[in-house]
Amino acid sequence: MAVPAALTKAQAAEGDIDVNELVFGHIGDAYQWHIVKFGDTEVSIPLPVIVKSSTGWHVFSSARLEEGPYEGLYVAKGGAYDGKIVERNAAGEEVRPLDISITKNVLGLFINSAVLLVIMMSCVRWYKKHPLEDGAPKGGVGMIEATVLSIYNDVIKGCIGENYRRYAPYLLTAFFFVLVNNLMGLIPIFPGGANVTGNIAITLVLALCTFVLTNVYGTKAYWKEIFWPDVPTWLKAPIPMMPLIEFFGIFTKPFALMIRLFANIMAGHAAVLSLVAIIFITVKSGPVINGSMTVVSVAFDIFMNALEVLVAFIQAYVFTMLSAVFIGLSQVKEHAEK
Amino acid sequence: MGLLTPDPGLLFWMVVTFGVVFFILAKYGFPVILKTVEDRKAYIDNSLKAAREANEQLANVKVEGEKILAQAREEQHRILSEAAVTRDRIIKDAQEKAFAEGNRLMEEMKKQIETEKESAIRDIRRQVAVLSVGIAEKIMRNRLADEKEQTALIDRLLDEMIETSKK
Biggest alpha carbon–alpha carbon distance for chain A: 76
Report residue A76's pLDDT band, with 50, 70 and 90 as the boundaries: confident
Would you state the pLDDT for residue B122? 92
Q: How far is A107 from chain B (nearest CA, A)?
A: 9
Q: How many CB atoms lie within 10 A of CB A260?
A: 16
Angstrom distance (rounded) from CA A57 to CA A72: 12
Average model confidence (pLDDT) for chain A? 84
Angstrom distance (rounded) from CA A185 to CA A112: 9
Would you state the pLDDT for residue A251? 93
Would you state the pLDDT for residue A17? 67
Would you state the pLDDT for residue A12? 45
- With beta carbons under 8 A apart, name residues in chain B contacting A172: 25, 30
- With beta carbons under 8 A apart, name residues in chain A contacting B33: 123-124, 127, 144-145, 148
Contact across the interface for A117 and B25, Cβ inside 8 Å: yes
Would you state the pLDDT for residue A231? 77
Given a contact cutoff of 8 angstroms between Cβ atoms, the answer to whether B30 and A148 are in contact is: yes
Say if residue A21's pLDDT is above 90: no
**Mind listing the pLDDT tens digit for each residue in A281-291?**
888 888 888 89
Would you state the pLDDT for residue A335? 63
Q: What is the ipTM of this complex?
A: 0.85
Provide CB contacts within 8 A for A52, sequence distance 6+. Answer: A58, A97, A98, A100
Of residues A310 and A18, the one with the higher pLDDT is A310
Minimal Cα distance from B15: which residue of A? A205
Angstrom distance (rounded) from CA B142 to CA B140: 5
Report residue A190's pLDDT band, with 50, 70 and 90 as the boundaries: confident
**Mind listing the pLDDT tens digit for each residue in B52-96?**
999 999 999 999 999 999 999 999 999 999 999 999 999 999 999
Residue B2 in contact with partner chain A when CB distance is under 8 A: no
Average pLDDT over residues A183-203: 87
Would you state the pLDDT for residue A260? 93
Would you state the pLDDT for residue B113? 93
| Percent of chain A's residues with pLDDT above 90 | 34
Would you state the pLDDT for residue A16? 59
Residue B28 in contact with partner chain A when CB distance is under 8 A: yes
Q: How far is A161 from chain B (nearest CA, A)?
A: 17
Report residue A9's pLDDT band, with 50, 70 and 90 as the boundaries: very low
Among positive and negative, which fits the CA dihedral A265, A269, A272, A274? negative
Would you state the pLDDT for residue A218? 85
**Mind listing the pLDDT tens digit for each residue in B2-40?**
678 888 888 899 999 999 999 999 999 889 889 988 888
- Test the A interface: residue of B15, B18, B27, B47 with most A CBs within 10 Å: B18
Provide CB contacts within 8 A for A104, sequence distance 6+. Answer: A29, A30, A31, A32, A33, A47, A194
**Mind listing the pLDDT tens digit for each residue in A113-152?**
999 999 999 999 998 888 887 778 888 889 999 999 999 9
Flag the least confident range among A235-239, A240-244, B84-88, B136-140. Answer: A235-239
